[in-house]
Amino acid sequence: MTMLNSNGFVLTTVDELLSWGRRNALWPLTIGLACCAIEMMHAAASRFDLDRLGVIFRASPRQADLLIVAGTVVNKVAPMLKLLWEQMPDPKWCITMGGCASAGGPFPTYSTLQGMDRIIPVDVYIPGCPPHPQGLLYGILQLQKKIKEKGVKKYDKAFEEFKKDIERQGLVPREVTV
């Protein structure tokens, strides 16, 4: 963005304006899975105060554009999380918080999903078990940077490709009649 003169005119591209708006109003979905959720709550509470970054938790996936996967994702919960991800409107981003969500963490077991990126594409991985709230803040700042650099258009294109990919693999949930 470039300030032209002191008369209050700003010259920018629509893309840049949109990405500026989007990266400064990331609304995550209120979902906690395990230990990391507690640190996520701490990040949202008074000391670390995520609100000042424009990060405001929303209770409905329809209003959210960021999914913070905070905690261990087990196989049983994976399809539900994916359903929620699909209910979120585009453009949307995903942060995996902690080792479990990123890669299975300390649970290489029969019931644990070995990394969230097996079912939905991930933008930022935050290591830690659980990460500090500062870690989550840093992750969100990194995501903002990523949105700034990549722009939104490019991102959407990549997402289309991902959608085609999962359709090809037959991973799209079908309607159930019982």
Partner 1 sequence: MPWMNRAVADRVKFDFKDMEVEFTKHTTNLHVKQEKLIDLLTHLREKEGYKLFIDHTCIDFPEERERFQGVYILYNPDTNERVIVKTWSKGGSLPSVEKLWACARWAEREAYDMFGVQYRGHENLRRMFMWEGYPYFPLRKDFPLGGIPEVELPSLTELYAGRTEPPSHDYELVHTRVPTLEDLERTEKSRLQKKAQLVLNWGPLHPGTHGTIWFLFDLDGERVVQSDVILGQLHRGMEKIAENIYYFQFLPYTDRMDYISAICNELSYVTAVEKLLGVEVPEKARYIRTMFAELQRINSHLLWLGTGALDLGALTVFLYAFREREKIMDIIEGNAGFRLTSAFLRIGGVHYDLAEGTLDVVKAFVKDFPNRLKEYHNLLTRNRIWLRRTKDAGVISREDVFNYGLTGPVARGSGVPYDIRKLESYAAYEEVEFDVPVGEVGDVYDRYLVRMEEMVQSLRIIEQCVSKLESLPKSAPYVNKEHPAVMSPKEDVFMDLEDMVKNFRIVVHGESAPKGEVYSSGENPRGELGFYIYSVGGSKPYRLRIRSGALYNLSIFPKLIQNGTIADAIALLGSLDPVVGETDR
Residues contacting 78, CB < 8 A, separation 6+:
113, 118, 119
Nearer to partner 1, 13 or 87 (CB): 87
Nearest-5° angle of CA 24, CA 29, CA 31?
A: 140
Does residue 46 bind partner 1 (CB under 8 A)? yes
Question: The tokens of 26 are what?
Answer: 């990331």
Distance CA 136, CA 36 (A): 10
- If binding means CB under 8 A, how many residues of this protein chain bind partner 1? 55
- Select from 4-12, 13-21, 27-35, 139-147 the region that touches partner 1 (CB under 8 A): 27-35
Does residue 66 bind partner 1 (CB under 8 A)? no
Binder among 31, 97, 137, 140 for partner 1 (CB under 8 A): 31
Residues facing 126 on adjacent strands: 97
Does residue 176 bind partner 1 (CB under 8 A)? yes
Does residue 39 bind partner 1 (CB under 8 A)? yes
Backbone angles phi, psi at 125, to 5 degrees: -105, 130
Nearer to partner 1, 3 or 59 (CB): 59
Binder among 16, 20, 27, 30 for partner 1 (CB under 8 A): 30
Does residue 178 bind partner 1 (CB under 8 A)? yes
Name the residue with tokens 């959407």.
156
Question: The tokens of 134 are what?
Answer: 């500062």
Binding site for partner 1 (CB under 8 A): 30-35, 37-39, 41-42, 45-47, 59, 71-72, 74-81, 83-84, 103, 106-115, 117-122, 129-130, 132, 158, 161-162, 165, 173-174, 176, 178
